[in-house]
Amino acid sequence: MRALSQEDVAQLPQGSAERAVRPQQAPGVRAGHGRVDQFEHEELADSIPVPQPALVGRDHDLTRLRRRLTHSGSYAGVLLAGPSGVGKTRLAHEAVRSLGSAHVLRVMSTWPDDEHLDLQEPLFRTSGPEPSGGAAIPARLAMQILRNSSESRRTLVLIDDAHLLDPASAALVLDCAQQSSALLLLTLNNETSTLPALDMLWKDNHVQRIDIGPLDASSMRQLAGEFGDQKISHQTAVHLARLSDGNPLLLRELIRAAGQQGLFIPGPAGWTLSGNIRLTSPILELVDNGLLNLDREMSEALERTVLASPVRLPILERVVRPEVLLQLERDNLVAVTVPLTVEHDATAIVNVRHPLMGYAVKQGLPELRRRAHINTLLSAYPTEGGNRSDLVVTTRWRLELGISVSENEVSEAAHHAATMQDLTTAQYFTEAAWRYYPSARTAKAHSLSLIACGQFDAASALLSEAESRYPDERRVLAAGYCNKFLLEGDLTQAKRFVASMTGESRRVYEGMTAYFQGDIGEALELCAPFIDDAASPHHLEAGTFYLLALLRAGRPQEALNVYDRLRPDAAHQVLHSHDLAHIRALIIAEIGDVNEAVSILSRSYDHAIESRLIRLDVSSGLALSEALLRRGRPRQALDSLRFHPSYLATWPRWQEKARVLSSLATAMLGRTTLTSDLPPLVRDHSAIQNHLAHAWRHYLSGDRKIAAEVLTKAAASAMDAHAYADTVHAVHELARLGLAKCVSPFLDIPVEGPLLQAKLDFARALLHGDMRILRRSAETFTQCGCDLYAAEAYAQLSYLYRDTKQDRAATAAGLRAHQLADRCEGATTPALLLVSATKPLTDREAEIVLLVTQGLTDREIAERLILSIRTVGNHLYRIYRKVGVTNRRALQKQIMSE
């Protein structure tokens, strides 16, 4: 499909009733009107409507604002202050809408010069909870009305862009606050000077002030990916989020400009930018552009800074006078920072103040002047002894200028870029090596770089071309093919190429294939010989899969010991080096410190987002989600996964993992997912999580028998493959779902670590009704940081105590279960239902309660469970008595509040 042209854009219909029917429409050019409340203005400046995305990254701010409006106390309202474009208006509207105020008075910040007001008409508008309904009225008139209105105390006054008020109106607003005539909600741009009366509002404690800053990088990328009916590709979302620098309004204008200029083209990963966005006047105004007033020396200094940014200050000072740099900093065009922790030194780093400013400078830079600047900058870098960042920068510049670069230099630059997780730059260098020094070796390196970025079709085409050029080097290229097919999930094709290998390479790839196939015992056997052979080129690659196999085998302590022997060489692996830090975190979680694992992975995820490490952000996001589920934080896990759905994950296996983890998080909240959302049940390296997701889906749909079959088969299959940790996970889930009678064949398996042992203890205790073992399991889960598992164990313990008439112990265990469950973000599982009941619920009653929380009617429940409607009603009557409620709505409220 071709890109949308400006002619196409011009023909788009403008009315929402005339919405165009297109199979794919680029972001920023969707037909029909769409409100854009995420941004600072509701009316769009031109004919290209941008659809309204979800409110992203403002949950905490929205909760805080609602709380302060609802419990205002002696305050007369709230002042939202922040830079232009960060979403103050959308936040205010969302708060007003959620409060459902009976009367909302929306006030204009400016007084129309020619407006005629009929004072006989009703002057304040009771628009209900929708603040944008109806026309606003001038501020001076609104304040006068409020001072004389008998209904004013029930009126919420929303004043958008309060910094635009004239002095008389601002004085009236202050008077209204002093008299508490109404509840005020004001938005204010804190980058502009304000009137004294507005300052007095918060300085004299008449209203509470909340400062709203730019959105974080993760939220901006999520927001960028949610425009339009079709998704924006991951790399494009990262690029747009970086340019907008936390400003949703600027993001909207960038997407609008790209749509108008026909730059969005469809692709398998979503809409992708096909070129540079020509910056429009609204965009430059939002950046507070000060580029036009620079003299020649200042312009040249800024251009060199942009080309080198981020650049070490001593290098820049060799080509720019310090006085000029100082003036650029004073003019707020550049920022100088000293990193708190650095790898090599504590040298100050210079960056352009706003990414879009650098983008604008590069767009307007003539090619010959750009080349002259690069030549000048090259002379400032040390010819030897520089750090790896210097080598990457200077090698790229030399390639761009056509200066001779050896194969070793290009390969070294690619290696350094990969170890810094800059895979896009690494791919640039491997492509250059293949272009200037074509060989089977450089083709293999470039194919691995393409695979690392998820470009499987390009990798396949490259390998085919290299194979036709170098038919005698097929064994060298076989590694590229194997990696491609393994990560695509095509094990049959991978085995075909493994068979063509010889020696150590064949053994390593046989081990990798065995791991992906789920044969953990075989993977351990094949990879083990390379662990102590640091000189082997396969040492780290084999070691990575050996660690993963040890985890699956239930030997986390041994895995940690092996990790310590592999870690010094981690930087020498291109394709898998990022995995080691995540594997270490999962090892720590399995050993029994889930909180530390979450902390490690959170730091890795934040670093990947802030540093725009495109592949690392997805892998760390998935690993973090997995750790959060172990901790019992399903909503946080979903938040992390929401930015990494299947269309964003670069590798097909990651796409499947994202869907499975999302399904498990949803199940923790008592909701089901569609069958099509989950991969089919096959034996592979991620089979256990997929089996768990399928089992929960069947259970929540009312089919306990199939859920038990799925988990029992998973446990047995894992035992056959020596994946004993997977067996433990399946056994634990059987017990969590009230199916402990199925676990007896799997309780005596060799695993290490307190967490795996606690899972076995939980299942064993429920099978035999052993309160001592169950208490030990609950205490261990608590120590490991698994709050949900601990809450479930204490709930089951309370049930057993109550059943044996130990009421005091039952009350104490139930209280502990409540305390732990409160941390789990509304998780609703069968065991937690026990906490709500004054008398134990049967398994059937627990099933029905879970179906009720999903909103099913009696008839729907009866169809799911193959019962009569009367039987369902009888069960519900007994449930109401046990839980202490009188109707379905009260039952839902009681369960969801637990």
Task: State the Cα–Cα distance between residues 778 and 800, nearest whole angstrom.
Answer: 13
Tens of pLDDT, residues 202-237: 888 889 999 988 887 777 877 777 665 557 777 788
Cβ(663)–Cβ(649) below 8 Å = no
- In the sheet that holds 349-352, the strands lie side by side as 311-312, 349-352, 334-337
Of residues 289 and 216, more confidence is placed in 216
Least confident of 116-130, 499-513, 569-583: 116-130
> Does position 196 have pLDDT exceeding 50, yes or no?
yes
What integer is the mean pLDDT of 848-867?
77
Task: State the Cα–Cα distance between residues 541 and 4, nearest whole angstrom.
Answer: 44
What integer is the mean pLDDT of 669-677?
67
Of residues 4 and 73, more confidence is placed in 73
pLDDT on residue 676: 53
**Which DSSP string do the residues of 40-95 spell out, in sequence order?**
S-SS-SSS---------S-HHHHHHHHHHHHT-TT--EEEEEE-TTSSHHHHHHHH
Instruction: Provide CB contacts within 8 A for 308, sequence distance 6+.
Output: 315, 316, 377, 393
What integer is the mean pLDDT of 430-434?
94
Q: What confidence category does residue 631 fall into, taking pLDDT thresholds of 50, 70 and 90?
A: very high
Q: What is the largest CA-CA distance in the chain?
A: 94
Six-digit token string for 696? 């929960």
Tens of pLDDT, residues 452-496: 877 888 899 999 999 999 988 888 888 889 988 888 888 899 999
> Does position 432 have pLDDT exceeding 90, yes or no?
yes
pLDDT on residue 632: 92
Of residues 842 and 625, more confidence is placed in 625
Percent of the chain with pLDDT over 90: 25
> Does position 648 have pLDDT exceeding 60, yes or no?
no
Measured CA distances, 336 to 301, 302, 311, 774 (Å): 14, 13, 10, 57
pLDDT on residue 54: 63
Task: State the Cα–Cα distance between residues 68 and 71, nearest whole angstrom.
Answer: 5
Of residues 803 and 600, more confidence is placed in 600
pLDDT on residue 760: 95
Say if residue 652 is preceded by a cis peptide, omega within 30 of 0: no
Task: State the Cα–Cα distance between residues 511 and 144, nearest whole angstrom.
Answer: 80
> Does position 511 have pLDDT exceeding 50, yes or no?
yes
Instruction: Provide CB contacts within 8 A for 324, sequence distance 6+.
Output: 297, 298, 301
Q: Which of 566, 577, 569, 527 is nearest to 549 (CA)?
A: 527
Six-digit token string for 856? 């099913």
CA dihedral of residues 747, 748, 752, 758 (deg, nearest 10): 30
What integer is the mean pLDDT of 374-399?
87
pLDDT on residue 791: 93
Measured CA distances, 62 to 71, 88, 95, 155, 252 (Å): 14, 10, 6, 20, 21
Task: State the Cα–Cα distance between residues 338 and 365, nearest whole angstrom.
Answer: 29
pLDDT on residue 746: 92
Q: What confidence category does residue 565 fall into, taking pLDDT thresholds of 50, 70 and 90?
A: confident
Q: What confidence category does residue 7 fall into, taking pLDDT thresholds of 50, 70 and 90?
A: very low
Arithmetic mean of pLDDT over the chain: 79
pLDDT on residue 130: 41
pLDDT on residue 832: 80
The number of angstroms, rounded, from the C-alpha of 396 to the middle of its chain's C-alpha atoms is 31
Task: State the Cα–Cα distance between residues 817 and 790, nearest whole angstrom.
Answer: 7
CB-based burial label for 766 (10 Å; 0-12, 13-18, 19+): buried
Q: What confidence category does residue 142 fall into, taking pLDDT thresholds of 50, 70 and 90?
A: low
Tens of pLDDT, residues 515-557: 998 899 999 999 999 888 877 888 888 888 999 999 999 999 9
Q: What confidence category does residue 428 fall into, taking pLDDT thresholds of 50, 70 and 90?
A: very high
Of residues 732 and 252, more confidence is placed in 732
> Does position 818 have pLDDT exceeding 90, yes or no?
no
pTM above 0.85, yes or no: no
Q: Which of 157, 163, 161 is nearest to 141 (CA)?
A: 157
Q: Going by DSSP bridges, is the β-strand pair 155-159/137-138 parallel, antiparallel, or unpaired?
A: unpaired
> Does position 597 have pLDDT exceeding 90, yes or no?
yes
Identity of the highest mean pLDDT range in 13-27, 303-317, 374-388: 303-317
pLDDT on residue 893: 60
Cβ(392)–Cβ(420) below 8 Å = yes
pLDDT on residue 166: 81
Q: What confidence category does residue 117 fall into, taking pLDDT thresholds of 50, 70 and 90?
A: very low
The number of angstroms, rounded, from the C-alpha of 446 to the middle of its chain's C-alpha atoms is 29
Q: What confidence category does residue 780 fall into, taking pLDDT thresholds of 50, 70 and 90?
A: very high
The three-class DSSP label of residue 785 is coil
What integer is the mean pLDDT of 696-714?
88
Q: What confidence category does residue 702 fall into, taking pLDDT thresholds of 50, 70 and 90?
A: confident
> Does position 386 have pLDDT exceeding 70, yes or no?
no
The three-class DSSP label of residue 195 is coil
